[in-house]
């Protein structure tokens, strides 16, 4: 029986080491391309398959079945991956990881009761992994959805910052795991390998529909964001005074952050930020570009978003749908992030 | 037109206007007295005095003289109002409280008069924050009537000499006992806590001792919980003057040097702890 959600997955990583016991644990495998090969369990792997006895092809517990094969072979430079997972951990406690042949997505779709924040983070597989193998539930739905505690992943990848190689696999060790194997640099010849088993839940296909890429709403104003660090320090101070933040912007490149309480009103004005060209075309002719469009949001949600951004993105756009939602669209070098904060009623 | 100038139409409408190139010169001093939520501000043409009190026993005053500001105008003095100090400090440090080389936050402050809010315009790197802080009815502040003519003992210390002692005060002791005397032990800090008593003596010829003018042996006790907040001023200061008068009242004056090398003063007054009746 196959799990409704995933057939197989493994992200192998170049770890030049001897085969043997370690190999059986799923670590330490030469990065030789052996061509398509069958894993025990009869799950065919794609190019760059592990040698027989490979790491991921253990049967799944009953009801869940074949491990998908997703393997970012030489998940080469560990730091960028660690950076992404660190950002995700700051943004969401638990998240869904979607794996498809070409990209990985970190997804958060919070229930309205918890604030209704949603997130869609996307990275191109080939920018992160030198070797990548995955096999979804079927050819038509070639994807794997996993739920995990994001901090577990970021903590595991943190160890990999100075590693020689990193390998991530979907395994089954009494329960489904994402196994992160890291070969550390060592002075002597003997290699040191750290293995993290991150417990995960494989999400069955019937729930996938809740985890699709969110559609970007037609925004009333679209504006480039100022330096996120400046915004963060402003919002941090504002949070001490109020829970309720008003974000307003217009098509003249003005963005204001505003709080109002019985004691104090504070408004921070950002000017000359510029508006993405699309917004101009969409804007109706008679519309006054100076007119402010506003949205009220939970200041903690906004701060959480800002705190997640340790590196200023190459492009950051804020889209406001008046009194409905604010959508942030961030582009880092290899990662794009969309973050939605619903308006407070 | 810069927003800063736009908002302040006519300076004559305001009973107080002040501008400052580096807001930290103000916020640092205010942090030194931030042990209560509320503060009373008095502005005269000489500058602003900000007062914070606790338990009718301790009072802290921060003096920000007019010279600290690049521009300082008071129309009809004295201008007095009460303000939430926590909120004021959050506003002043809205662009972050750490000093980054090359980035200064400029401040323009104005107050139209009784019943009006205190307006702050802060600018850093082209970003402007406008804060409108509601003011409150000024409260009468305590008069400690601490006259320099009644001062019995006076010591000036380099702050580093007192810093460690204050940050490690045994807070299980209810009081801090200060002994000042022309003879041994000259200057002694004592606590009486759960783990025992501790005495810390400063010899009169110590390098830390800038001046020593003690005329009479005095032993006074002060509630440690009231004195502990003065540590905030102590850590910022370079020198501290410790004085006691004939009633045993304590005055601590802290000399604080700001980023631009200007000197400001913060002063703490504290009443002695009531001495139990001898026969009780």
3-class SS letters over B220-277 = EEEEHHHHHHHHHHHHHEEEEEEEEECCCCEEEEEEEECCCCCEEEEEEEECCCCCCC
B26 or A214, which is more confident? B26
Domain shared by A193 and A290, yes or no: no
Contacts of A234 in chain B (CB under 8 A): 94-95, 129
Q: Is the pLDDT of residue B82 over 90?
A: yes
User: Is residue A306 a part of any domain in this protein?
Assistant: yes
Q: Name every chain B residue with its beta carbon within 8 A of the beta carbon of A267.
A: 129-131
Residues B76-81 have a mean pLDDT of 88
- Report yes or no on A3 lying in a domain: no
The verdict on A267 touching B (C-beta cutoff 8 Å) is yes
Q: Dig out the tokens for B220 from the structure.
A: 């006074």
Tell whether B135 lies on the interface with A, counting CB pairs under 8 A.
Answer: no
Residue A1 lies in a domain: no
In a domain, A313, yes or no: yes
User: Taking a C-beta distance cutoff of 8 angstroms, is the pair A99, A144 a contact?
Assistant: yes
Instruction: Tell me, yes or no, whether A238 lies in a domain.
Output: yes
Q: Are residues A190 and A91 in the same domain?
A: yes
Interface membership of A268 toward B (CB under 8 Å): yes
Distance CA A220, CA A252 (A): 13
A66: alpha, beta or left? (left if phi > 0; alpha if psi -120 to 50): beta
Residues A157 and A280 in one domain: no
Q: Are B127 and A230 within 8 A, CB to CB?
A: yes
ipTM, 2 decimals? 0.85
Same domain for A290 and A248: yes
Per the domain annotation, does A2 fall within a domain?
A: no
Is the preceding omega at residue B234 within 30 degrees of 0, hence cis?
no
- A161 assigned to some structural domain: yes
In angstroms, the separation between the Cα of residue A200 and the nearest Cα of chain B is 39
Indicate whether A177 and A272 sit together in one domain.
no
- Tell me the chain A residues in contact with residue B134 when contact means C-beta distances shorter than 8 Å: 262-264
Specify if A196 maps to a domain.
yes
Residue of A226, A267, A272 with shortest CB distance to B129:
A267
pTM for the whole thing? Answer: 0.80
Among residues A167, A185, A211, the one where a domain terminates is A211
Q: Of B107, B129, B132, B135, which to mutate for an interface test with A (greatest number of A Cβ within 10 Å)? A: B129
Report the number of secondary-structure helices (H) and strands (E) in chain B.
6, 18
Domain co-membership, A162 together with A28: yes
Interface of A with B in 240-259 (CB under 8 A): 240-241
Of B96, B117, B126, the CB nearest to A271: B126
Residue A57 and residue A205 in one domain: yes
How far apart CA A93 and CA A266 sit, in angstroms, is: 31
Q: Is residue A226 domain-shared with residue A185, that is, in the same domain?
A: no
Q: Indicate yes or no: CB of B129 within 8 angstroms of CB of A226.
A: no
Same domain? A161 vs A247: no
Q: Do A98 and A38 fall within a single domain?
A: yes
Closest by CA position to A106, among listed A74, A146, A57: A146
- pLDDT tens for the 345 residues of chain A, in order: 344 444 555 554 333 333 333 333 333 333 322 222 222 322 222 322 233 222 332 223 333 333 344 444 444 344 567 788 888 888 888 999 999 998 899 999 877 666 788 999 999 888 888 888 888 888 888 899 999 999 999 988 888 777 888 888 899 888 899 999 988 877 777 778 889 999 999 999 888 888 888 888 888 999 999 999 899 999 999 999 999 999 999 999 999 999 999 999 999 999 999 998 864 555 555 678 899 999 999 999 999 999 988 878 899 999 999 999 999 999 988 889 999 999 987
Q: Which domain holds residue A268?
A: 221-342
CATH number of the domain within which A300 lies:
3.70.10.10
Q: What is the pLDDT of residue A8?
A: 55
Measured from the Cβ of residue A167, the count of other Cβ atoms closer than 10 Å reads 33
Do residues A47 and A166 share a domain?
Answer: yes
In 3D space, the residue among A202, A197, A320 whose CA is nearest the CA of residue A257 turns out to be A320
Cβ of residue B128 closer than 8 Å to a chain A Cβ: yes
Q: Could you say which of A189, A211, A233 is where a domain stops?
A: A211
Q: Which residues contact B243 (CB under 8 A, 6 or more apart)?
A: B146, B151, B153, B154, B155, B250, B251, B252, B253
Number of domains in chain A: 2
For A27, residues 6+ apart whose C-beta sits below 8 A from its C-beta are: A15, A17, A55, A167, A181, A183, A193, A195
B102-145 pLDDT, tens digit each = 788 999 999 999 999 999 999 998 999 999 999 999 989 999 99
Residues A176 and A290 in one domain: no
Size of interface A-B (CB pairs under 8 A): 61
Tokens 């409150």 belong to residue:
B136
- Domain's final residue, options A155, A185, A211: A211
> CA B104 to CA B21: how far, in whole Å?
7
Name the 3-class secondary structure at B87: helix
Q: How far is B230 from chain A (nearest CA, A)?
A: 24
Nearest of A246, A240, A234, A232 to residue A307 by alpha carbon: A232
């Amino acid at each position: 029986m196959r799990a409704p959600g995933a057939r197989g997955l493994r992200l192998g990583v170049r770890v030049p080491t001897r085969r043997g016991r370690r190999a059986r644990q799923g670590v330490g495998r030469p990065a030789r391309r052996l061509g398509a090969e069958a894993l025990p369990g009869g799950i065919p792997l794609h190019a760059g398959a592990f040698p027989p006895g490979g790491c991921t092809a253990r049967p799944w517990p009953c009801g869940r079945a074949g491990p998908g094969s997703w393997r970012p072979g030489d998940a080469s430079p560990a730091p960028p991956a660690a950076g992404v997972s660190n950002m995700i951990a700051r943004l969401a406690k638990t998240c869904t990881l979607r794996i498809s042949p070409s990209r990985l997505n970190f997804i958060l779709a919070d229930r309205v009761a918890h604030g209704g924040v949603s997130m869609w983070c996307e990275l191109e597989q080939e920018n992160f992994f030198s070797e990548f193998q995955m096999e979804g539930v079927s050819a038509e739905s070639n994807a794997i959805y996993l739920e995990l505690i994001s901090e577990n992943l970021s903590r595991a990848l943190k160890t990999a910052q100075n590693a020689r190689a990193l390998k991530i696999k979907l395994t089954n060790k009494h329960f489904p795991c994402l196994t992160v194997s890291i070969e550390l640099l060592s002075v002597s010849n003997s290699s040191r390998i750290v293995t993290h088993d991150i417990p995960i839940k494989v999400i069955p296909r019937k729930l996938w529909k809740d985890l699709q890429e969110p559609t970007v709403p037609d925004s009333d104003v679209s504006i480039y964001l100022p330096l996120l660090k400046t915004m963060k320090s402003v919002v941090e101070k504002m949070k001490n005074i109020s829970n309720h933040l008003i974000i307003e912007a217009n098509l003249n490149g003005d963005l204001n952050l505003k709080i109002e309480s019985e004691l104090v009103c504070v408004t921070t004005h950002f000017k000359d930020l510029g508006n993405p060209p699309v917004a101009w075309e969409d804007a109706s002719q008679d519309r006054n570009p100076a007119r402010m469009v506003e949205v009220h949001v939970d200041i903690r949600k906004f701060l959480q978003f800002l705190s997640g951004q340790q590196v200023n993105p190459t492009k950051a756009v804020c889209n406001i749908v008046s009194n409905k939602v604010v959508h942030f669209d961030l582009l880092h070098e290899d990662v794009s992030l969309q973050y939605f904060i619903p308006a407070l009623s | 037109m810069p927003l800063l100038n736009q908002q302040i139409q006519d300076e004559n409408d305001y009973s107080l206007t002040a501008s400052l190139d580096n807001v930290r010169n103000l916020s640092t001093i205010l942090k030194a007295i931030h042990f209560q939520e509320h503060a009373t501000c008095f502005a005269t043409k000489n500058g602003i005095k900000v007062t914070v009190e606790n338990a009718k026993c301790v009072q802290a005053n921060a003096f920000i003289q007019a010279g600290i500001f690049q521009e300082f105008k008071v129309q009809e003095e004295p201008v007095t109002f009460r303000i939430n100090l926590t909120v004021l400090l959050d506003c002043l440090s809205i662009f972050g409280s750490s000093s980054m080389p090359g980035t200064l936050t400029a401040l323009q402050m104005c107050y139209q008069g009784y019943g009006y809010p205190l307006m702050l315009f802060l600018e850093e790197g082209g970003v402007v924050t406008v804060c409108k802080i509601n003011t409150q009815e000024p409260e009468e502040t305590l008069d400690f009537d601490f006259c320099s003519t009644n001062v019995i003992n006076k010591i000036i210390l380099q702050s580093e000499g007192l810093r460690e002692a204050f940050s490690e005060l045994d807070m299980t002791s209810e009081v801090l006992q200060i002994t000042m005397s022309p003879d041994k032990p000259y200057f002694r800090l004592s606590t009486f806590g759960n783990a025992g008593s501790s005495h810390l003596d400063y010899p009169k010829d110590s390098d830390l001792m800038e001046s020593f003018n003690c005329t009479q042996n005095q032993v006074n006790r002060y509630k440690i919980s009231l004195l502990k907040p003065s540590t905030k001023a102590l850590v910022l200061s370079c020198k501290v003057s410790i004085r006691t008068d004939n009633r045993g009242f304590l005055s601590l004056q802290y000399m604080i040097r700001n980023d631009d090398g200007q000197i400001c003063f913060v002063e703490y007054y504290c009443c002695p702890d009531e001495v139990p009746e001898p026969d009780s």
